Amino acid sequence: MQSIQFAIFKQGYFDFEKKYIYNDTDHLRNMILSYLSNSNGIEIFEENNYYPFGLKHEGYKSLAGNPAYQMKYNGKELQETGMYDYGARFYLPDIGRKSVVDPKAGVMPSWSPYSAFFNNPLRFTDPNGMAPEDWVGCKNSEGSTNWKWDDYIKSADQAKAAGYDDYKARGSIIDNAKIGGVGGTDGKTSVYLGNNKSDGSFTYPNKTVTPFQVGTEWL
């Protein structure tokens, strides 16, 4: 029978051979440093450095840490295949793409269904393998949603904590909605939520916006 090798807690994990291991992470939840306290003070147990899209630097800092504990880039588990498990999909850091189509690809037609982090891994993370997001919305008395861009909201949990009712990906098209309290005209009752706070526009319901229309390269 295989024995339990570690137990995860908020600040790191408990290694049944080396006691409590603490993780130091950056703003993207990348696991950079693991350390523990022993009779000689602080012992560095593992160190990792990453290229922007997740490949690990090699050739130095040979502290391997616990080979059973593989929570690394973005706090995700590194598989034996070299891919990271993001929940809905696996991620390939060597090419900066996901392994299969995004389950939410239909709500952001201006992006490749295999893209990751909107091609900006220094700005965005991907909590569950589906559409990264930045637009937040509040329901109004008319039953529609008023959308706006919020630079400080990076997750659904943050949006909820800030009092917003909804949270969508860049490139989404939302029916029966407004931007900044303003609605469309001439039958354009849907909004296109673009790639930044200035890239919002009105469109007809159930219409798609092609990459060429919004200046987004199809990758």
Domain contains 39: yes
- What pLDDT is recorded for position 1? 57
Which secondary structure element, helix H or strand E, spans residue 211, and what is its range? Answer: helix 211-214
Domain contains 138: yes
* 113 within 8 A of 105, measured Cβ to Cβ: yes
Domain contains 108: no
Tell me which residue of 127, 188, 182 sits closest to 157, measured CA to CA: 127
Domain contains 92: no
For the chain, list residues with pLDDT below 70: 1-2, 18, 61, 107, 123, 131-133, 151-152, 154, 186-187, 195-196, 204, 206-219
User: What is the pTM (predicted TM-score) of this model?
Assistant: 0.62
Claim to verify: residue 131 and residue 200 sit in the same structural domain: yes
Alpha carbon of residue 149 to chain centroid: 17
Claim to verify: residue 200 and residue 130 sit in the same structural domain: yes
- What pLDDT is recorded for position 179? 79
134-165: pLDDT as tens digits: 788 888 777 778 888 776 676 777 778 778 88
The Cα 86–Cα 72 span in angstroms is 12
44-74: pLDDT as tens digits: 888 899 999 999 988 776 777 788 889 999 9
Range of the domain at 33: 6-78
Burial 39-77 (b: 16+ CB within 10 A, else e): eeeeeebbbbebeebbeeeeeeeeeebbeebebbbbebe
- What pLDDT is recorded for position 77? 93
Domain contains 134: yes
- What pLDDT is recorded for position 84? 96
Claim to verify: residue 128 and residue 210 sit in the same structural domain: yes
Domain contains 161: yes
The Cα 172–Cα 153 span in angstroms is 17
SS (H, E, C) 107-163: HCCCCCCCCCHHHCCCCCCCCCCCCCCCEEEEECCCCCEEEEECCCCCCHHHHHHCC
Domain contains 109: no
Claim to verify: residue 139 and residue 68 sit in the same structural domain: no
Number of structural domains in the chain: 2
- What pLDDT is recorded for position 214? 34
- What pLDDT is recorded for position 55? 93
